[in-house]
């Protein structure tokens, strides 16, 4: 079985070959500095592993303008489980018009971002 990190990297590289997609690794965590300060990394607890956008040409009524659609991809192995916080984040992204999903393979990620 592949690790989630290996799968994330493969997905990020595969999507990076598309001219209209940019995805970035989002590491969520908390650590203490040497002087004892807490530093939180990433967007928020539950935010997806890969965060980015897909450029989409909108309808003719909008005169062919392009917009960037916020995209959040949670990467899990075949047996990986989505936490309640991750599920809520993905749902929120979709509710606001973005693309939020869980994928378990490079092929699934590529299918999600077809234009």
Residue-level pLDDT at 18: 82
Contact 23, 50 (CB under 8 A): yes
pLDDT at 55: 85
Q: Edge to edge, what strands does the sheet with 66-75 contain? A: 21-25, 50-57, 66-75, 99-103
Domain architecture of the chain: domains with CATH: 4-112 (3.40.1350.10)
**What is the per-residue pLDDT across 3-21, written as a single tens digit (0 to 9) for each?**
888 999 999 999 988 888 9
Low-confidence stretches of the chain (pLDDT beneath 70): 1, 115
Predicted local distance difference test score (pLDDT) of residue 115:
54
Q: What is the pLDDT of residue 1?
A: 52
Given the structure tokens 């509710």, which residue do they identify?
Answer: 95
- The predicted structure's pLDDT at residue 89: 96
């Amino acid at each position: 079985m592949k690790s989630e990190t290996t799968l994330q990297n493969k997905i990020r590289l595969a999507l990076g070959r598309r001219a209209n997609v940019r995805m970035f690794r989002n590491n969520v965590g908390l650590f203490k500095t040497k002087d004892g300060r807490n530093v939180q990394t990433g967007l928020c607890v539950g935010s997806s592993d890969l965060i980015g956008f897909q450029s989409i040409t909108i309808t003719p009524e909008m005169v062919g303008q392009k917009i960037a659609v916020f995209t959040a991809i949670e990467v899990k192995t075949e047996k990986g489980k989505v936490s309640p916080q991750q599920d809520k984040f993905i749902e929120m992204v979709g509710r606001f018009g973005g693309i939020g999903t869980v994928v378990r393979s490079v092929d699934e990620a590529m299918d999600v971002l077809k234009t």
